[in-house]
Amino acid sequence: MLDLRMPIGCLFLIIGTILLTWGCAHPVLTPCGGLQVNLNATWGSVMGTFGLLMSLLAWREKSRS
Amino acid sequence: MQVGVLDYLIIAIYFVFVLGIGVVLKKQMVSSEDFFLSGRSIPSWITGLAFISANLGAIEVMGMAANGAEYGIMTAHFYWVGAIPAMVFLALFMMPFYYGSRVRSVPEYLKLRFNEPTRAFNALSFALMTVLMSGINMYAMALVFKLLLNWSMTASILVSAGVVLAYTILGGLTSSIYNEVLQFFLIVFGLLPLTLIGLANGGGWQGLIGHLPKGFGHLWSQAGGTANPMGIDWLGLVSGLGFVLSFGYWCTDFLVIQRALAAESLSAAQRTPLIAAFPKVFFPLLTVVPGMLALSLIPALGSNTTNYSYNMALPLLLSQYYPSGMLGVGLTAMLASFMSGMAGNITAFNTVWTYDIYQSYIAPARSDRHYLWMGRVATAAGILVSIGTAYLVMGFPSIMDYMQMIFSFFNAPLFATFLLGMFWKRTTPWAAFWGLVTGTVSAGVHFALTHFGMLTYSSVMAGNFWRATMAWLICFSVTFALSFVTKPRPVEDLQGLVWGLGGDTPLIREVWYKRPAVLASMVIVMTLVANVVLW
């Protein structure tokens, strides 16, 4: 059976990388409390990290079995 | 708001993954049990997240945000008084009968416990309910995409129907469950920044409720009477929402039960609603709070124009805060929620149609391959009918009105049937049948009386809660009374179907953190804390 963590990981890694790259290349600042946040870059890195974690968990399971 | 190429690219990547999962799983769909029940082989963390995600359709995301804008934090009662206690009850007390009896659907349990007519009545009403509910998701999606992307309603409905059709017809329930988990994470990651930014900009929780009408920040302090945003007192809340509507939905609706039946063991099936309950504790942060934030930011919200109706609270907030890129993620989250809601209903529909209607009454004793084929045909037919019901929803003033009407007709009386059937062995088959019929008809009569102004309530929501309570009471009373004058089934036929009469499924001793009672206690404590903090 397909390890679901693999497609989830890949999807989040791809979307996260796109957002991070786009956010760095075309920064748009969103007010957040007293700060100005580059939402695309910040949240892109969060999504990318989550995707990487899921992919690593799936890869570890595969190499174990 | 400007939707750019980047946003469309993110939506397109999501579609590729959703369809890819269906294609990969297609070769594993060998038997009808693979297609309809995922071969009962899925781990509990997946079935648990699918359990919550199948319910995470238009109602949950758009509807709860709309209610948050209309009624404030009292909307969280749907989670903390309604959903979570019901999910715990399902896991601890009802799942052993559903999973242990090896039934393939909820109507099939009614056949084993009662008789064929009770099963037929429930199967037909459930099939009707699922296509009506599936239409809600299509309609909601079309509404959002018309506002945000300027797509026509018909184009939106056809695109969403086409994608859901493709992945459910290819990979059956497994594909639907896998995509629901993927969609769960997308919804969380797509909507969470809205709450974080909104609260940071609005001065935190205290700042937010300072901008809202009185009572919008409290759960119980004004529930002594009806002078609160929801217009209902604690008794109506606890009986209508906390008991009848929520237990009726979470404990009997095959849409969610089907996810637990796909689990790999009884213990995993019991953990399924409990795993779902943990994120459910926090879901008001993703749905209700954004609705409240939208009301504080957009003063015109709640006017009668379509673009500023309460239903638009979440999409309007999305357009307010997200730049191109994150907007694509937010739109994908909404798309994911509508598609998971639609696919959940369609997979439940194709199972009930194939097993409980087609195999039982139209074409019995055919090959397994034939029923697998029929499941695929039912998937396509269910989606076609849902397209029709999507246009039907357009005639109703709000999504919530339409949905509550459906739930009070079908789920509220059914819960009384299950409660008596599972926990009282004297309940007879014909008493259950007539109780269910009179409960459903009485909900219809009550709806008509309310609709034509002969019965009035302080809010639409209060009317919904009291209708559900009344339908439940009538079904319960009729079933209870008739059970004394009709013939019960022999006790030996009820083994494993009724509380106290055992079953032959042994419980496996699990490590402490996997035990249902431990998980249930943890989630109940978390829910109590949430209620106290926002009292």
What DSSP line would sit under B93-153, residue for residue? IIHHHHHHTT-SSHHHHHHHHS-HHHHHHHHHHHHHHHHHHHHHHHHHHHHHHHHHH---H
What average pLDDT does the structure give for chain B? Answer: 85
- Looking at chain B from residue 161 to 190, which residues have their Cβ under 8 Å from any Cβ of chain A? 174, 178, 181-182, 185-186, 189
Q: Is the pLDDT of residue B72 over 70?
A: yes
- Judged by a CB distance cut-off of 8 A, whether residue A2 touches chain B is yes
Residue B24 to residue A31, Cβ atoms within 8 A = no
What is the pLDDT, as a whole number, of residue A13?
96
Contacts of B189 in chain A (CB under 8 A): 12, 43, 46-47, 50
Least confident of B254-268, B323-337, B453-467, B494-508: B494-508
Phi and psi, residue B42, nearest 5°:
-95, 135
Q: Does the distance separating the beta carbons of B189 and A43 come in below 8 Å?
A: yes
Give chain B positions within 8 Å (CB) of A12: 185, 189
- Could you tell me the pLDDT band of residue B441, with boundaries at 50, 70 and 90? very high
User: Per-residue confidence at B143, pLDDT binned at 50, 70, 90?
Assistant: confident
Q: What is the mean pLDDT of residues A8-28?
A: 94
Read off the tokens for B433: 């049948």
A-B C-beta contacts closer than 8 Å: 77
- CB spacing of B20 vs A7 below 8 angstroms: yes
Please give the average per-residue pLDDT across B498-516, as a whole number: 75
Distance from CA of B311 to the nearest CA of A (A): 25
Give all domains of chain B, ordered by start, each with its CATH number.
5-218+246-395+512-533 (1.20.1730.10)
Q: Please judge whether B197 and A18 are an interchain contact, meaning their C-beta atoms are less than 8 angstroms apart.
A: no
Chain-centre distance for alpha carbon B198? 27
Residue of B9, B24, B325 lying closest to A2 (CB–CB): B24
Q: pLDDT-based confidence at B402, cuts 50/70/90?
A: low
Smallest Cα distance from B4 to chain A, Å: 12
Q: Do B323 and A14 touch (CB under 8 A)?
A: no
Taking contacts as CB-CB distances below 8 angstroms, the residues of chain A near B14 are 11, 15
Surface of A (14-43) touching B: CB under 8 A: 14-15, 18-19, 22-23, 28, 30-33, 37, 39-40, 43
Structure-token pair, residue B159: 């695109």
Listed in sequence order, the residues at least 6 apart from B373 whose beta carbon sits closer than 8 Å to its beta carbon are none
For residue B52, give both structure tokens: 């919550």
The mean per-residue pLDDT over the stretch B262-272 comes to 89
| Residue B421: per-residue pLDDT | 93
pLDDT at B234 (0 to 100)? 83
Most A CBs within 10 A among B326, B327, B332, B340, hence the mutation to make, goes to: B326
Task: Check CB contact under 8 Å for B322 and A39.
Answer: yes
Per-residue pLDDT at B397 exceeds 60: no
Find, in chain B, the residue whose alpha carbon is nearest to that of A8.
B182
**Chain B residues lying within 8 Å of A11, measured CB to CB:** 13-14, 17, 182, 186
Question: CB–CB of B352/B105 below 8 Å?
Answer: yes
Interface test with A, best of B19, B185, B196 (most A CBs within 10 A): B185
Stretch B392-399: mean pLDDT? 66
The residue to which tokens 């809202």 are assigned: B212
Alpha-helix runs per DSSP H in B202-253: 204-210, 234-236, 246-252
The answer to whether B207 faces chain A, any CB pair under 8 Å, is no
> What's the pLDDT band for B476 if we cut at 50, 70, 90?
very high
Separation between Cα atoms, residue B195 and residue B206, nearest integer Å: 14
pLDDT at B70: 86
Question: By percentage, how much of chain A surpasses pLDDT 90?
Answer: 58
- Among B187, B188, B189, B297, pick the best mutation site for testing chain A contact (most A Cβ within 10 A): B189
CA distances from B77 to A36, B209, B290, B530 (A): 35, 17, 16, 11
Q: Which residues of B touch A47 (CB under 8 A)?
A: 189, 329
If you average pLDDT over residues B446-471, what whole number do you get?
Answer: 83
Per-residue pLDDT band at B249 (split at 50, 70, 90): confident
Residue A12 pLDDT grade (very low, low, confident, very high; cuts 50, 70, 90): very high
Q: Which residue in A4, A12, A31 is closest to B46 by CB distance?
A: A4
Q: Cα separation of B466 and B528, whole Å?
A: 25
Q: What is the pTM of this model?
A: 0.86
In whole angstroms, give the CA distance from residue B202 to residue B517.
40
- Long-range (24+ apart) CB contacts under 8 A made by B443-446 are B443/B408, B443/B409, B443/B412, B443/B413, B443/B467, B443/B468, B443/B470, B443/B471, B444/B409, B446/B408, B446/B470, B446/B471
Q: Do A39 and B197 touch (CB under 8 A)?
A: yes
Q: What is the pLDDT of residue B223?
A: 76
User: What does the block give as tokens for B409?
Assistant: 């007709």
Instruction: Judge: B329–A15 Cβ closer than 8 Å, yes or no.
Output: yes
Q: For B407-439, b where at least 16 C-beta lie within 10 A, e where not — what string?
A: bbbbbbbbbbbbbbbbeebebbbbbbbbbbbbb
CB of B329 within 8 Å of any CB in chain A?
yes
How sure is the predictor about B183, in pLDDT bands with cuts at 50, 70 and 90?
A: confident
Would you call A32 and B21 a contact, using CB atoms and an 8 Å cutoff?
A: no
- What percent of chain B is predicted at pLDDT more than 70? 95
Across the interface, of B10, B41, B323, the residue whose CB is closest to A18 is B10
Does the pLDDT at position B100 exceed 80?
Answer: yes
> What is the average per-residue pLDDT within B233-261?
84
Mean per-residue pLDDT for B7-24? 88
Q: In the structure, what pLDDT confidence band is assigned to residue B59 with cuts at 50, 70 and 90?
A: low
Distance from CA of B181 to the nearest CA of A (A): 8
Q: Which ipTM value was assigned to this complex?
A: 0.95
**Window from B34-38, B279-283, B524-528 with minimum mean pLDDT:** B34-38
Confidence of residue B219 (pLDDT cuts 50, 70, 90): confident
Residues of B in contact with A16 (CB under 8 A): none
Other C-beta atoms within 10 Å of B396: how many?
Answer: 14
